[in-house]
Every structure is written in C-alpha cells, then in structure tokens.
Structure 1
C-alpha cells in the first residue's frame, strides 16, 4: 500500500469476491490490440475498488485546517490599501473559518510605528484617491457592512489601474530582494495595522501576526521594543490576534550578519510569552513557532533544539515547505510523483522531532506553496498547480498536520489564490470546494486493484491519489454522516473507480474540476462538471452544482483531473458527532 494512503483494513471475503469479479470482468472484456497497437497495461484494465473505514476517524484536525497567508510585501507594493475591496473580502469570506498569517521573508524587516498622521502623497495616484475614500465614508461607493460594521470600498477602475502599474514596478524590486537575500526595511503604521485587521475581521479570518525576530541587541538578544509598542496598540484597539516570532530562523545567516541558535531562539520566544502575559489583553493569546524552513540538516537541528529548550512556550509547532524553485518552467515537473512524495517524507521528519520532546503538541505547516520566490508565471498560477495543492492538503491531513497555511491569498508573485484583478485563480476554486465539502475528520481509505505487486528494490509512486474525510459540518446541504472523497488523477488516461463495502450502492454527488479553455493545464480558468466557474458579481459566488451519480454507478475520473465525491445518506458512525 502506498505511503500516502491511510491505514488499510483487512481484506474480507467480500473484498476477495469483488476483486475476483473485477478481474474476471476485465479478462472477459479485454480485446487484443490490432497489430502495431499499444497493449493496455494491467493497471489500465483493472477496475479500482474503493472503500472507507467509517467506524472512527484516524485523525481529527483543526476546524481552520485550510488557512491563508499574506506576505508583508503587500505593504511595499501598495496592495494593503485595497484590502477594503468588497470583492477581496467576499473571496476571503468564502474560505472562512481560517487563520490569516501575516508573515513571510519580510517579517524580519518589519518595524511598527504608531504614527497615525503621516504626510500623504496627494498627487494623481492611488494614495490620493484612497485618502478621499477613507476620509469621506458617507459616499455611496464606500459602505459599512451592517452585519459586522466593516468598512468596505468599491475602487474605481482608474485607481486600480494606477495601483497595478505601481505594483508591477515594485514586483521587480521585491523579486530582486528575494533572489539576492538582501531585504529593505518595511514599516507598518497603526493605520496600516487597522486596515489589515479590518480585512481579517470582516472576512471571518483570525489574524496571526509575525513579529520581527532580527531586531536584535548588541549581545544578540531579541530587541522587543517595537513588538511591545505594537502589542500595546493592538490591545488598546482590542484586536483579537495570535502571534509568532520570525520566519525561517535557520536561514538568518544568509540574510543577516549573524545567526540565532536553538537556545537563543527558545529564549526569544520565552521573552515574547512574558511580554504577552504583561499586556493583560494578550495574557492568554496563542503563540506559534518557530517557522523553520524545509527540514534539512540545519533546520532539523534548530527545530530539535528549540522544542527541547522552549517547546512548551508555543501552542503549535510551525514549519514551511515549498516544492520547487521558480526556475522550473515545465508543467510536467508539477506532476512528478517523486516531487509530490517529498512532502510526506518531510512531515515524517518533523513529527518525529516533535513527538520526541512534546508528543501532545500540534504541528502546523506554517507556510506552503507550489514554488518559492514568488512562483512562476503561467505555471504556479494555473490549473496544473492544483495537483500540488490538493496533494498537500491530502497528505498533511492524512499524517495529522493540524493546520496548513497557503502562501498566499493575495500579494505579489504568481503563487496566490486571487490575482491582481481580484479574480479567483484555479487554486482558489479548489480551496473553496475543499472548504465547503471536506471536514476535519480524516478517514482511512482502502484501495484494491490500484497497483501491481511491487518488485524488490522498486518504489511505486501512484498517479492516482485518493483521500477521505467526513463531509464538512458547515455545509448544510449534507446531513451529518456523509463522507467526502477527493481524488487526483495524474494519469493521461481515464480511471474507473467502483465504490465497495460501506460505500456500495450509495448516491454520490460529483464535483469534477478540469481546466477551462484551450490552454489545457496552463489554463487560469476552471470548469466544474463542465460549467466554467466565474463570480456572479463582487459579492456573489456562482452556484456550485453537483452532478448526481446514481447508486452503484462507477466513478470515471478523466485524465489529469481533480474530483470531490460526496457519498450521501451513508450515516457513517465516525461522522455523526
């Protein structure tokens, strides 16, 4: 059984009968190819039998399992001022409940200044128009959301076009910084923090704010002055925020003159916990860390020492994973099973370290994306990236990662969920379906007929990946007890899946995602069951209509596709509570 599939159940007599029946059927219907034709492999001819253990979940995850990230670069490129957009808030609300991590590489160059009345540029640019909006909230194009008291705006096209020009220029600067590992300082003011919190609160997201860990004293201890000022301001506004300190501390030697060892990092987090307790409003606030990078040698040593010396200080252990660098330009590289399996190997490393020192501590994937350094245009923002994203969610859930924070919701680069025209990209629609259909209870999957017997010394990595959860309790379309299966088909041929055992002869709702248009896997548009997905307007999602498969009907997964399948009225015991 492949590593990414969950604990198999014992093969019963029913299973044996089903397998024998499938093989007989395959043999009976098999036709020898004409001369010169390519013979079908055993895998292509075999009907795949799928069952799920519905007695009890193997993992129970955080309700906010799929969560989001915003990089502090959003301050430098000017997009922070547009987080009041009705459309952006609507899109973010679609993915709630979730955490919103404000952090990334520029976290450790972020300084807070409590200056509300900075001189503003009054020329014919975005800031000029934005000031008019903020100072005149009674205008018809600026409204308060009556349900939450949120300040939302509809920005004129001219304003957005000017901002896109500004952002395009700044994107080259930000990318240069990322590739050279030489970063300029970022200033966040009280007014900017207000905008950030307004966005998170209006969208139903819980803000996690990353504090600067590279602001250090001459003795290399953490200088907490800026952080304390920010804490006091946030407390005065009663902002409900959780906190973290720094980003990828294992790489500090590449972006700063010094480095931080595990003992010092544990002391820094202990100091931050003390600061939180000293500010009454945050005395019980959550603290997450240490946000180490890919668990290679240096990161593993740092993480191990940190948890040993200060693991009790954090509420969850966080680390980050990016599959490939931005120089990858072939769509085929995004679908290599060897690449997809790297995440499972790294999760195993991290869990082993955490369980050695703090076995009850939750583990978060505190930053994840298809590729680092902003991603690759026409690749990490296309349908092809969805295979990596859903693979991340499936493997992380199966191995008990409590929360996965996607880099990013909206900012510079090409790995975001929403583009700079405020249009959802393929990974957004995938995330929306996941939120609506997939609950936090993970179920064990049993698959038969998926692969041949492994040969000695050979590892078989599957191109068909199947995961199962209880259906989300937040989806009132389905009663408790329903089960959601999600499937990735990386084969270039159709795969047939027969539901068996507890899933047999149940009505199924299919949500099949495929690229829309002539660009194929490079498409930035998605179709659901053959219908393109588009926002109706700035505040209305399209109806996500399922296709009903009759009881006992075989699931046919087209090549290079993604599908969600809700098994209705199964009354699964694991999903009733």
Structure 2
C-alpha cells in the first residue's frame, strides 16, 4: 500500500480484493495456458546504472492557455490543483509555440496587494485561496475552453498565429497555481522579438523579469520554442550561433538580478534532430552552452494527423526514441561534456496529438516506455506535453478529469525512484521485442516500503499474456502488483479514456480527493503474469538491493 495503512474497517475489503485479484490472475493464467509468451529476465541489484533528477517526470502547460486571459482562471480549480500536487516533485514548463507570439504588458505602476505581502512561496493561506475558482465560474470556463481548444487546433494547422498580449494578472494566476500545487515554474520567453539585425530584443523580457522580481516569484526561464521552425512560423531564420548569443545575453540579464542571478536557464528547445537541422544545436552549443543549466530538445513519435492504433503498439516506433536520443547526446557530450540533457517537451504525436489515441489508454504504451527508456539512456528530466491545454495529448481533459496517462504518471511518481538499475530480457526468450521491462529502486518517499525494495515495470505489446520468469535473486520476495488495463475489452477497447487498476476503474473520490491506489500483495513467485496489451508495476518488497 502506498497511501498509509488501512484501518480495521477496510481490512475485509482488502482481503476480498486480494482473493478476487489472485483468482483473476490464476483464471487468466489457466485460460491462457496454451496462449502465452514466456520470457526470462536478468537483473543487477548491486549497481546503480544511472540516477535521474527527482523531478524526472515533469509536465507542461502550453502557452496557448494564455491566448485569452480568462482561461488562466482554470488554474484556480481545486480539482486541477489536487491533480497537479499529486505529481510533485516536478517542474511545470509554461511555453510552446504561442510563447513566441506573446508580449508582456506591465501595469502602469507596481502594486502588491496585501495578500501578496511576505513570502509568496507559502503553499497555503490567503495567497492560495485568493485565486481559487468558484464552481459556477469553473463550469462556464470549461464550456468556453472546449470551443477555444478547437480554434487553437485550427490555428496550429494553418500555422497562422496571432500576436497576444498578456498582463501581470495572468502571471499572478500562473504563479499561484504552481506555488499552491508545489510545482517549480519554468517560464518560456519570446525569442521572436528581434531587431532588424536579427538580434533578440530583450526589453519586454526585462519588464516581465522586473515584475516577477517585485512579486518575489521564484522561477526559472527558457528563451524560445523550437527555433528550427521559425522560418515556417514567422519567416525568420536563426543560426545556432545567434541563438547562443541570445542566451548569453539573457544570462547576463539574470545575473544582474538579486532574485534571479542563480536561477535556472534551459534551452534551446530544438525539435528532434534531422540531418539538415543538427547544425542549429551544434552552433548553439558552440556559442552559448555555458549560459544554460541543461540542454533541452523535443520528441514526438508520429504525426497526429495520420497516426494509427498500430503505431502506438509498434516496437520499431518506440525504438526510434533511442535513435534520436543517441544523436542528441553525442552532440551535447562532444561540445559540452557533463551538461544535463532534458526532454523539454514530449508526447506521443505532434500536431496536437492523435485524436482518439493520444488521450486514450493505448497512449500509455508510448508514455511508460518513454519514461523507462529515457531514464535508461541518461535523459535527466522528461516534460510531458501537456498537463492541461489544447490538443489531445493532455493528462487532464477539458472537464479537468484525469485521463489514463495521468493515472499512469501518478503511479510512476509514487512507485519509481530516481535510481536506474539494469534489467534485460534474455536473448533465448521468444517474442522478446513485445515485452519492454525497466527496473528502478522503489521510491524512498513511499514509507510503506522497506529499504532495498525495487520496482519493475513492464509493457506487454502482445495480444497474448506474458509470463516473466524472475531470477532466483528476487523470486523470494513478496510482490505488490499494480496492473493497468483498458476499462473496455478487446482491441477497440484500447481507445478507452478510462483505465482499470487490478480490475477497478480509476476515478477521483471527489473534487479534492484521489483514490488510495492500493496494490495487491502476492506471495513470493518465480514468475509474473502480465495480461495481453497491458502494463504493470511490480514492487519487489524484499529484493534487498544494497544500492536501494
């Protein structure tokens, strides 16, 4: 269990769940006795292969939410704040295409209301209640947002972006959300404000920095979004060298600030490398690498406008992440050794996502594999596009209800620690490409797990059950199981916007309360049964890994 110990009143229910789920596993195994794939895995519990940032799984909000300032009030929803807080520790990146078409309009004079006096970093009290959204207004805004999202999607298809002005009040709403949810804000500045000589014009950014400093808003910064595409979006071509100089200029501005002199600066947020685009990242690092704290790039697997269900289950599509990551890491490590590399924006399908897929259960295969593979390859932070916002790749839908990838992210946060351990499917196994397995130390913040526990998570891309045979080293450990399956049966059920965990459909208890997410504990076993087209977390509680 990962949310405290149940009282006596819940014990009968938990016992019933244990036997029900155990019988379900046994029934599944017996029925599938002649219809399963068996694989052997090997593990190394004695060495940490890599350690990622404690905020490894982070999230984004697309700057298009600020295209009409009234929608920023959605960030005051108690439900949304509850969902966001459960994903901490995490960064929240506020940026995207729209950030490069936005201009800050400061108030005529700075005025700090009494509710903002003192430490603005407090997570409770007047500052958090000030922007809490009343239920009646929330319902109206959600209806309006559904229409706005359609408009924004059309704007992206046409690549015609209108210039947007935003006020200090919009920034207040954003900061209240991250502050009261416990997230760490990274704000994306407009890089398309440029002089006739194509040099970044920093005056507007300095007005925003000044405003945020007066408010004592603790935050980090980015400059520009996907500069590779500026020529298509704004008829402006930028070299990597010039981009590096722009970042150095921004770093100099930050260093002159009493509040932001040591704040984080991340970039250049380039799209995934293609042969004709690698020169931009190379030129940027050659001129501006010392300005940034981590190098950021973006990754999507497929085009959302023509992606298919099969794409989301194709091992070859999933493996492309490793190919792209290898290219980026080689460039960064050769030009700026030791520099952290982040996926600064990522999801399943570009172009706003694939309708009926990116917001469905099937998207979890891409998302969970990306988390496992990114940590294994050495990416330090992965920022999911988006927590809420336009498109169909969101974690929380337009009604502010959590989608399957949200529940997957929540389980990952609670069960998976930052220490990456080695695990591999042995070559002798059949259909091994259809099983993806990863191993981490169990999250040490989960106090119900003893020292040395490890979490194995796995994806079954096959239409048959997978039987994972464990090495003797860990087969004597009790196992806490969290199996995630679509709420609807069959291949078409993979398009469901609901998910079952150990047989129960996951949903919020009420607007401010998440379910307990209790696993089912099984006795020591030599094999783990993973149903067809599902994924799961297995906490091996007595693995006794000396590095965990």
- TM-score with structure 1 length normalisation? 0.84
Q: 2:60 matched to 1:82?
A: no
- Give the structure 2 partner of residue 376 of structure 1: 354
- Give the structure 2 partner of residue 504 of structure 1: 475
Structure 1: distance between partners of 2:37 and 2:307: 34
Equivalence map 1:328-339=2 (5 Å): 328=306, 330-339=308-317
- Give the structure 1 partner of residue 464 of structure 2: 493
Change in Cα spacing, 1:181 to 1:319, as seen in structure 2 (3 Å) is: same
The structure 1 residue matched to 2:269, chosen from 291, 309, 330, is: 291
SS in 2 for 1:298: coil
Q: Is the 8 A contact 1:86 1:153 kept in 2?
A: no
Q: 2:145 matched to 1:167?
A: yes
- Give the structure 2 partner of residue 515 of structure 1: 486
Structure 1: distance between partners of 2:440 and 2:547: 10
Structure 1: distance between partners of 2:447 and 2:245: 46
What are the ranges of 5 or more consecutive residues in structure 2 without an aligned counterpart?
1-32, 116-121
Q: 2:509 matched to 1:536?
A: yes
SS in 2 for 1:191: helix
SS in 1 for 2:424: strand
- Give the structure 2 partner of residue 178 of structure 1: 156
Shift of 1:384: 0.5
- Give the structure 1 partner of residue 500 of structure 2: 527
Q: Is the 8 A contact 1:51 1:503 kept in 2?
A: no
The superposition leaves residues 191-241 of structure 1 with CA deviations (integer Å, 9 ceiling, x where unpaired) of 110110110011111000000000001111000011000111111111111
Shift of 1:174: 1.2
- Give the structure 2 partner of residue 475 of structure 1: 446
Change in Cα spacing, 1:494 to 1:172, as seen in structure 2 (3 Å) is: same
Change in Cα spacing, 1:116 to 1:93, as seen in structure 2 (3 Å) is: farther
The structure 1 residue matched to 2:340, chosen from 332, 344, 362, is: 362
The superposition leaves residues 480-533 of structure 1 with CA deviations (integer Å, 9 ceiling, x where unpaired) of 211001000000000111211421211111000011135610111111111111
- Give the structure 2 partner of residue 464 of structure 1: 435
Shift of 1:186: 2.1
Shift of 1:47: 3.2
Q: 2:55 matched to 1:64?
A: yes
Shift of 1:145: 6.7
Structure 1: distance between partners of 2:498 and 2:424: 33
Q: Is the 8 A contact 1:148 1:202 kept in 2?
A: no
- Give the structure 2 partner of residue 91 of structure 1: 83
Q: Is the 8 A contact 1:145 1:151 kept in 2?
A: no
The structure 1 residue matched to 2:536, chosen from 559, 563, 567, is: 563
The structure 2 residue matched to 1:216, chosen from 179, 194, 210, is: 194
Shift of 1:445: 0.5
Structure 1: distance between partners of 2:124 and 2:350: 39
Shift of 1:52: 1.8
Shift of 1:252: 0.8
- Give the structure 2 partner of residue 406 of structure 1: 384
Structure 2: distance between partners of 1:298 and 1:196: 37
Equivalence map 1:213-362=2 (5 Å): 213-328=191-306, 330-362=308-340
Q: Is the 8 A contact 1:46 1:449 kept in 2?
A: no
Shift of 1:185: 1.4
Shift of 1:157: 5.3
Structure 1: distance between partners of 2:412 and 2:339: 25
Change in Cα spacing, 1:69 to 1:46, as seen in structure 2 (3 Å) is: closer
SS in 2 for 1:563: strand
The structure 1 residue matched to 2:406, chosen from 404, 428, 437, is: 428
Structure 2: distance between partners of 1:152 and 1:462: 52
Q: 2:543 matched to 1:552?
A: no
Structure 2: distance between partners of 1:510 and 1:246: 42
Structure 2: distance between partners of 1:572 and 1:237: 46
The superposition leaves residues 358-383 of structure 1 with CA deviations (integer Å, 9 ceiling, x where unpaired) of 12000000000111122132211000
Shift of 1:85: 1.0
Shift of 1:62: 0.3
Q: 2:101 matched to 1:109?
A: yes
Structure 2: distance between partners of 1:72 and 1:546: 37
What are the ranges of 5 or more consecutive residues in structure 1 without an aligned counterpart?
1-38, 118-134, 138-143, 453-459
Q: 2:372 matched to 1:386?
A: no
Change in Cα spacing, 1:426 to 1:320, as seen in structure 2 (3 Å) is: same
Structure 2: distance between partners of 1:353 and 1:148: 48
The superposition leaves residues 402-444 of structure 1 with CA deviations (integer Å, 9 ceiling, x where unpaired) of 0000000001121100011111000000000000000110000
Shift of 1:169: 2.8
Q: Is the 8 A contact 1:116 1:190 kept in 2?
A: no
Q: Is the 8 A contact 1:338 1:461 kept in 2?
A: no
Structure 2: distance between partners of 1:470 and 1:517: 32
Structure 1: distance between partners of 2:476 and 2:467: 16
Shift of 1:147: 6.5
- Give the structure 2 partner of residue 128 of structure 1: none
- TM-score with structure 2 length normalisation? 0.88
Shift of 1:146: 4.0
Change in Cα spacing, 1:375 to 1:202, as seen in structure 2 (3 Å) is: same
After alignment, is 152-161 or 492-501 more displaced? 152-161
The structure 2 residue matched to 1:53, chosen from 21, 44, 58, is: 44
Structure 2: distance between partners of 1:277 and 1:52: 46
